[in-house]
């Protein structure tokens, strides 16, 4: 059963020169063509995960490109867009070129790179666009790396430049000053309860609302990363009604887990924005149903086990996820909505449509073969540090049997295949 943009139907999929070359009735493949039998399975376009932290350069004790891109294809992800908060940050064309050179020949999936938009490099936007950055990433509020955003006036100007270059900006939207104030009030709490209290929904809602106003005034396209608060979903919905070019992203952990379910895991479940309430989670699902949320990104952000094995207050935020999106969300979304949110949606947001995100004649032959039953054994994890709340608490609902990139199997029956042949998708 093949999931095309129009239907879920039984067919043969033919591939030639790395592209889909035939969508034909079953049994119509030429007898001498090499085939992959996907009987009993569902065939989807390869997932596009537009929010990963593969940690190169500078943070390879947490993850490296080889392990991360293997985890990606093990999870049916054939394209990733990698975040710029590495060491050094991807803040200049030289840093972008260094990343391109490092990853060349080492990636099992296709990849693109965000450039940073911060106070210190706001003059680099045009150069980053010319160097092929997939988009920009802006951190509003305190995050893992300290990369302060420009003040509002400079930010407005930077967004004007980004808009003129056609670069979309993805925003980590939490108001840092409101976070600091909330942290001062969060006394008498400990563990993840203190973390949740120190990162209130208000900080998210205010930042989403403000950046939508600024981007609208600047004529700059926007994407809001990891929506977690009900009010932030409403803010994106309002902005869309007002005509702002903003795309909403949600993450599997916010869709599948609440604070109450994961609080006992302590540092292991620490993430920004935090896992929130059932009401917040319900608002995310409403946002998916009404199109406020356009895409799902994993925010794959592993840390070394030793870094997480400390008190919540000092532990870094984030955990692995790129291999888990498809197995854990398949049962909740079904194949067509999964494709819409995890392949077509991000491909459209980041300029990869129509060559990626769909099974259609002429599109790149990136696909995943899924067996829609829970596997007998949990799948082996390929990230260097795969542990986290999704892995611990969410049962798999499907199994990735095979993943093809440019028509070649890169993942088959539980193991990587062939040499890494993922390409840099230079914007
Ligand atoms: Zn992130």
* Average predicted confidence (pLDDT) for the chain: 96
If you measure from the C-alpha of residue 41 to the centroid of ligand 1, how many angstroms do you get, rounded to a whole number?
Answer: 32
Tokens 């995100």, residue located: 357
Contact 141, 175 (CB under 8 A): yes
Segments in the chain below pLDDT 70: 142-145
Per domain, the residue ranges of the chain are 43-416
If you measure from the C-alpha of residue 24 to the centroid of ligand 1, how many angstroms do you get, rounded to a whole number?
Answer: 40
If you measure from the C-alpha of residue 394 to the centroid of ligand 1, how many angstroms do you get, rounded to a whole number?
Answer: 20
Per-residue pLDDT at 141: 79
Give the torsion sign (CA, 336, 337, 338, 341): positive
Superfamily of domain 43-416 in the CATH hierarchy: Metal-dependent hydrolases (3.20.20.140)
If you measure from the C-alpha of residue 271 to the centroid of ligand 1, how many angstroms do you get, rounded to a whole number?
Answer: 9
Element at 23 (helix H, strand E): strand 19-24
If you measure from the C-alpha of residue 402 to the centroid of ligand 1, how many angstroms do you get, rounded to a whole number?
Answer: 27
Contact 358, 343 (CB under 8 A): yes
Per-residue pLDDT at 143: 57
Residues within 5 A (CB) of ion ligand 1: 299
Element at 284 (helix H, strand E): helix 278-289
If you measure from the C-alpha of residue 51 to the centroid of ligand 1, how many angstroms do you get, rounded to a whole number?
Answer: 6
If you measure from the C-alpha of residue 299 to the centroid of ligand 1, how many angstroms do you get, rounded to a whole number?
Answer: 5
Q: Name the DSSP letter for residue 108.
A: S
β partners of residue 172: 139
If you measure from the C-alpha of residue 28 to the centroid of ligand 1, how many angstroms do you get, rounded to a whole number?
Answer: 44
Give the pLDDT confidence of 269-307 residue by residue, as tens digits. 999 999 999 999 999 999 999 999 999 999 999 999 999
Q: Rounded to whole angstroms, what are the CA distances from 156 to 164, 235, 298?
A: 12, 19, 28
If you measure from the C-alpha of residue 181 to the centroid of ligand 1, how many angstroms do you get, rounded to a whole number?
Answer: 23
């Amino acid at each position: 059963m093949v999931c095309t943009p129009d239907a879920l139907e039984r067919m043969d999929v033919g591939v030639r020169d790395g592209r889909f070359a035939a969508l034909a009735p079953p049994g119509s493949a030429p007898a001498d063509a090499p085939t992959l039998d996907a009987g009993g399975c569902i065939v989807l376009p390869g997932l596009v995960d537009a929010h990963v932290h593969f940690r190169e350069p500078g943070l390879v004790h947490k993850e490296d490109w080889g392990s991360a891109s293997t985890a990606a294809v093990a999870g049916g992800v054939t394209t990733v867009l990698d975040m710029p908060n590495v060491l050094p940050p991807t803040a200049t064309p030289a840093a972008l070129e260094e990343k391109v050179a490092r990853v060349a020949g080492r990636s099992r999936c296709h990849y693109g790179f965000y450039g940073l938009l911060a106070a210190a490099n706001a003059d680099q936007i045009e150069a980053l666009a010319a160097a092929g950055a997939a988009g920009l990433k802006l951190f509003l509020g305190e995050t893992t790396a300290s990369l302060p955003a420009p003040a509002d006036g400079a930010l407005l100007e930077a967004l004007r430049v980004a808009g003129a270059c056609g670069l979309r900006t993805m925003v980590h939207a939490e108001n840092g000053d409101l976070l600091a104030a909330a942290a001062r009030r969060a006394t008498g709490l400990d563990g993840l309860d203190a973390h949740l209290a120190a990162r209130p929904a208000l900080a998210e809602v205010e930042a989403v609302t403000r950046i939508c106003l600024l981007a609208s005034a600047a004529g700059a396209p926007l994407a809001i990363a990891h929506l977690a608060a009900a009010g932030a979903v409403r803010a994106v919905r309002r902005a869309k009604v007002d005509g702002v070019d903003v795309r909403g992203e949600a993450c599997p952990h916010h869709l599948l887990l609440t604070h109450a379910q994961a609080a006992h895991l302590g540092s292991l479940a620490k993430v920004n924005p935090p896992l929130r309430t059932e009401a917040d989670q319900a608002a995310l699902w409403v946002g998916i149903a009404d199109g406020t949320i356009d895409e799902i990104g994993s925010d794959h952000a592993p840390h070394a086990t030793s870094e997480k094995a400390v008190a919540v207050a000092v532990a870094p935020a984030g955990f692995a996820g790129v291999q888990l999106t498809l197995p854990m969300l398949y049962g909740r979304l079904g194949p067509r909505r999964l494709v819409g949110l995890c392949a077509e949606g991000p491909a459209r947001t980041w300029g990869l449509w129509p060559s990626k995100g769909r099974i259609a004649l002429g599109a790149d032959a990136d696909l995943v073969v899924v067996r829609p039953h829970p596997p007998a054994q949990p799948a082996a994890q390929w990230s260097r540090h795969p542990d986290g709340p999704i892995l611990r608490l969410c049962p798999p609902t499907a199994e990735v049997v095979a993943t093809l990139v440019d028509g070649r199997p890169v993942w088959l029956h539980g193991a990587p295949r062939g040499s890494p042949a993922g390409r840099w998708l230079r914007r």
